[in-house]
Chains A and B, each alone.
Chain A
Amino acid sequence: MLIYWANDEYSITIFGHTFVRFFPDWFYNALHIPSRLAEGMAFHFLFMWFFTLNGIFYVLYTIISGQWRQLVPQKKSFKEAWLVLLHDLHIRKTAPPQDKYNAAQRIAYTAIIVMGFGSVITGLAIYKPVQFYYLTWLCGGYHLARIWHFALTMGYVLFFLVHIIQVILAGWNNFRSVISGFEVVEEQPKPAIERSSEDEKA
């Protein structure tokens, strides 16, 4: 957010009336980040490497491990995602059957990769618009590329919020599975033998 300090270029203006300006003064004051554009840029141009490399490794891993099959939306996902949403908002009682990830997750987790790719492309288009003039052209020009880049950042913030809330709601067992790679499902004790089974999902 440091990098957006210097000029509040972005705003939502309809018919000449500015509704929101990115960002209002209280936002900078709350985060203690006024007048630190140079610092923000320096951090930005270091962390862009982590962002990009992390994305590349993640995508390579999902391809090599075959996990992409669990992540890419299926035909039915787009219809089912609504049902998942309604279920999560407690409007609908049942959720559609799912594999490792539900329809909404499949769409979200694939969208975030597409967004990440978009951030890298629009980022390069802004960073070196003369050298990567073709990327800038692809993004609809320098000005539009900046807006895309900014909108995607807002998208990550939204994703992050929903993601964290969902993890908290899903509870400890789910979080543990995120870390350890498997989920523990207690089965009803059967007569004579008591055992729990491990539902391993590599």
Chain B
Amino acid sequence: MKKPEKELTVEQKIKRRNFISFTVFGALAAGAVGGWKWLYNSAEEPAGITAGTRRPLRRALNKTELFFRRLVFNENHLVKTYPREMAAKVIRHNSDIGSEGKLPPENWKLQVRKNSGEILQITLDEIMKLPKTEITYDFKCVEGWDQISHWAGVKFSDFIKHYGLDLEAKSQYVGLETPDKQYYVGIDMPSAMHPQTLLAYQMNDVLLNGNHGQPLRLIIPVKYGIKNLKRIGSITFSNTRPRDYWAEQGYDYYSGL
């Protein structure tokens, strides 16, 4: 500066600094309010494999899942198990979409679609002849409750091996649906092949009854309850995400733990 400027008085300095501070504060506050409004009013994602949530929120769900998957996921981590006697006697029942009423095992066959197009038809007796695995773990519901429960069935990975589905198991996803196709889930292959994932036919040492997915259900401890499909009708394999009942209603597709 050539001209010696007049020193600002203390009052002027105070005024100036207050003005700058409050302008910045106001801009940040307006930005926060505007950002929230933008997010709250943002368009819903196009209905597809996932649906029912705002586009930016779905993006955040998927990115967050990927972030944790890349950062820390170790598919070999086991779910904590408990002594058999800690299992609840009365198992909580939340929903039976697609598995209402009874379905005696003799009226049921599991359909597995192979890559060749061939469909395997498997009875419960055949499944029960495979090596039996039991687990007592803390079943976790996305709605907030959890319950230690006891299940028995065949490991999904043992099932794959026994029926020579190794080629199919190289796909990225498994899709399971109830016989009436009312309820359906998509599972990423590493979670399906996890050593604690079962095709379960017993709960507390008794064959599954109508409420809990008679005659065969999925028990996948590395996922929330919504992925533990009751009453499996068919199993398919694919490299794209199979349709998923709750992912279509705004929930995270992976829902992994």
Contact = CB atoms under 8 A, between A and B. Distances in A.
B22 interface: yes
Q: Is the interface of A mostly helix, strand, loop or mixed?
A: helix
Contacts of A79: none
B49 interface: no
Contacts, number: 96
A196 interface: yes
B21 interface: yes
Nearest to A150: B144
Contacts of A181: 17, 21
Interface stretch (A24-32, A62-70, A105-113, A127-135): A127-135
Contacts of A132: 72
A37 interface: yes
Nearest to B191: A130
Interface residues of A, number: 34
B54 A176 contact: no
Nearest to B148: A143
Q: Is the interface of B mostly helix, strand, loop or mixed?
A: mixed
B53 A142 contact: no
A198 B14 contact: yes
A164 interface: no
A179 B144 contact: no
Interface of B: 10-11, 13-14, 17-18, 21-22, 25, 39, 52-54, 56-58, 60-61, 64, 68, 72-74, 77-80, 138, 140-146, 221-222, 246, 249-252, 256-257
Interface of A: 4, 6-7, 9, 37-39, 41-43, 45-46, 49, 127-133, 136, 142-143, 146, 176, 179-182, 184, 195-198
- 6 smallest CB-CB distances across A and B, nearest first, come from A38-B250, A6-B143, A180-B21, A42-B57, A46-B60, A9-B144
